Structure 1
Amino acid sequence: MPVIPGLTTERLALRGPELRDFEALRAFYASERSGFVGGPKSAEGAWRQLATEIGHWALRGYGRWIVTERAGGRTVGMVGLWNPEGWPEPEVAWDLFEGCEGKGYATEAARAARDHAYGALGWPTAISLVDPANAASARVAERLGAVYEGEVSHETYGAIGVYRHPVPEACR
């Protein structure tokens, strides 16, 4: 297992997923809120998702972080870099947990993740994939400067909107 770097922003801490995160993931994947990202799922499905998140770090050397509030430590979501088999290209992705939306957390954490991808990992570009019905997620992509390019068809998720992020030089 690679060492997962931690990131911090003004309000948030991003750390690698661990077994202690299972309950938060179980609650998220049991909710309708997870509908845009393959849920709802049973507790077993949430467990498998946690294993996938950890495994992605081991297989790709990057992945999604658990996001917590620096003041108080509440877990607010999962944000990071995602590129499993079958994905069109590397993605900056975000999932916020119930009651954590509308605070700018997804934008703040995704910007930190993208900065890591462009800096430490040397990515030349990145996308975010957004369900066409997920207007809130599309607004996050747009706040990050990403531009809608069209749709791709995915074997599990169907038609997904592709938002292209600005190149690294434009993000400095």
Structure 2
Amino acid sequence: MSLDIPVIKTDRLILRDPRETDFPVVAEFAASERTEFIGGPQDRFSAWQGLLGQLGHWALRGYGLWMIEDRETGKAVGRTGVIRHDGWPEPELGWTIFSGQEGHGFAKEAAEAARLYAAREWGFERLISQIHPDNGRSISLALRLGAVQEEETTLFGEPCLIFRHPDPREAEDAA
């Protein structure tokens, strides 16, 4: 089976399909303490299942998480995109930057590109982001992206803040 995962290019990044060659960096990240808000740390097999699930989401829903590749180095530096797991209230714009790649603005650049693509191509106009209240870095990014906290709830038994993103096409129209 071949998946038709679109490619998005920004000034510094390529959002592309997940590949088996990405697995070493995915497994390293999954084993780190930085995954505490997304179900980790995880062992190598669970990280493998996660990579397969990333591809499976594309196959089942027609959208999902892209790998974020640094155009300069060719390295996978994170993931971003739109996901909706079973039990989630609606599609979510999510992002993860792998260890050692923080502080370069990759997450914001990639999330903006993914959000705009999702609005234009899939009709996801005002996505949510579900963020653990202790995840200050993700909350900060959601706010920089123009999202507004809409609700406090729980997700799989954990506290969760729901942030609502603006329709990115409105900013595009104003420019």
Matches within 5 A, 1:4-153: 4-153=5-154
Q: Separation in 1 of the partners of 2:92 and 2:171?
A: 16
Q: What is the SS of the residue equivalent to 1:56?
A: helix
Q: What is the SS of the residue equivalent to 1:67?
A: strand
Report the number of matched residues. Answer: 171
Structure 1 gap segments, 5+ residues each: none
Give the letter aligned to residue 56 of structure 1.
H
Give the letter aligned to residue 103 of structure 1.
H
Q: What is the SS of the residue equivalent to 2:159?
A: strand
Q: What is the SS of the residue equivalent to 1:10?
A: coil
Give the letter aligned to residue 163 of structure 2.
Y
Q: What is the SS of the residue equivalent to 1:119?
A: helix
Summarize deviations over 1:20-39 as a string: whole Å, max 9, x none. 11111100000001111111
* Structure 2 counterpart of 1:166: 166
Summarize deviations over 1:69-94 as a string: whole Å, max 9, x none. 10111211011111111112111100
Shift of 1:136: 0.8
Contact 2:116 2:169 in 1 (8 A): no
Give the letter aligned to residue 165 of structure 1.
H
Shift of 1:152: 2.2
Summarize deviations over 1:115-136 as a string: whole Å, max 9, x none. 0110011113201111101111
Shift of 1:169: 4.1
Shift of 1:2: 2.9
Q: Separation in 2 of the partners of 1:150 and 1:119?
A: 26
Q: Separation in 2 of the partners of 1:6 and 1:51?
A: 19
Give the letter aligned to residue 12 of structure 1.
L
Percent of residue pairs identical: 44
Give the letter aligned to residue 159 of structure 1.
P
Structure 2 gap segments, 5+ residues each: none
Q: What is the SS of the residue equivalent to 2:121?
A: coil
Give the letter aligned to residue 65 of structure 1.
W
Q: What is the SS of the residue equivalent to 2:6?
A: coil
Summarize deviations over 1:126-155 as a string: whole Å, max 9, x none. 011111011111111111100011222112
Q: Separation in 1 of the partners of 2:97 and 2:150?
A: 24
RMSD of aligned residue pairs (Cα, Å): 1.2
Q: What is the SS of the residue equivalent to 2:122?
A: coil
Q: Separation in 2 of the partners of 1:155 and 1:166?
A: 26
Shift of 1:168: 4.2
Q: What is the SS of the residue equivalent to 1:120?
A: helix
